[in-house]
Chain A
C-alpha cells in the first residue's frame, strides 16, 4: 500500500536532548513537509523540501533541523534549542509535477512529549 509512515507514534524526551522524528513515503512524491499542531490551533509549517538535498524554512523553523538525502525520507530533528517542543508533529508529501496545486497526503503523526 502506498502512503506515508511516521515513527514512533509517541515519543518522550528529556529536556536538553535532541530527538529525531522519522517520515518515509512510497508515493514517489517530490515534495515533503513537516507541520506542528498544538491544541486549538491549525497546522504550522516547520520545514519543506521540493527536491533531494534541498529544503526551505517554514514559519516556525527555529529549534528544528531537517535533511533530505533520499526522495523517500525527510527526518525532522527537534533540538534542545526548541523552547516548547511538546506537540503533535505531522509529515506530509505531495506531487509537484501537476503544477503548484497538488493535494498533500499526511502521515499518522508523532506525539512528542518533553518530560
Chain B
C-alpha cells in the first residue's frame, strides 16, 4: 500500500523568508500525481500545487514551488516570501487511480 510521510510535525518561518516542507512517499507505480493541500484554521482544504510524476519539470504556483525527486520518492514544498496568511496545516498527498493518500501534516507558523 502506498504511504506518505511528513517528518516535520511543526515548522516556523519568519515573515518574508523561505521555508521548505518535506514529504516522502512509497509506491511501486510509475505514474501518479502528488499534491500539497493547505488547511487553514477554517479547516477548509485548499489545493496549493500538484505534480504529475511523468513530468520532470518541477511545478510552480506563484510563491509555491516543489522539488520533485522521483527516484528518491521525495516531494518537498518551498514557500517563498512567506506571508501571515500562509500559516496553516499542510498536507502532502499521493494519488493513483483516484486513491488519494495523505501524510499526517505539517503545522506551519509564520512569525511577524
Contact = CB atoms under 8 A, between A and B. Distances in A.
Contacts of B98: 31, 48, 50, 94, 96, 100, 102
A43 B50 contact: no
Question: What secondary structure prevails in chain A residues at the interface with B?
Answer: strand
A74 interface: no
B95 A42 contact: no
Contact of B95 (A50, A101, A105, A106): A101
Nearest to A111: B43
A2 interface: no
Given A100-B95, A101-B52, A42 B4 contact: yes
Given A94-B98, A96-B98, A100-B97, A42 B103 contact: yes
A92 B86 CA distance: 22
Contacts, number: 50
B91 A43 contact: yes
B42 A108 contact: yes
Nearest to A58: B99
A42 B43 contact: no
Interface string B17-41: 0000000000000001101010000
Interface residues of A, number: 24
4 nearest CB pairs, A to B: A42-B102, A106-B45, A101-B33, A100-B97
A103 B98 CA distance: 9
Interface string B66-92: 000000000000000000000000010
B104 interface: yes
B96 interface: yes
A90 B33 CA distance: 21
29 contacts: A40-B9, A40-B104, A40-B105, A41-B105, A42-B6, A42-B102, A42-B103, A42-B105, A43-B91, A43-B102, A45-B99, A45-B100, A50-B98, A88-B43, A94-B98, A100-B96, A100-B97, A101-B33, A101-B95, A101-B96, A103-B50, A104-B95, A104-B100, A105-B47, A106-B37, A106-B45, A108-B42, A109-B43, A109-B44
Contacts of B37: 106
A40 B8 CA distance: 12
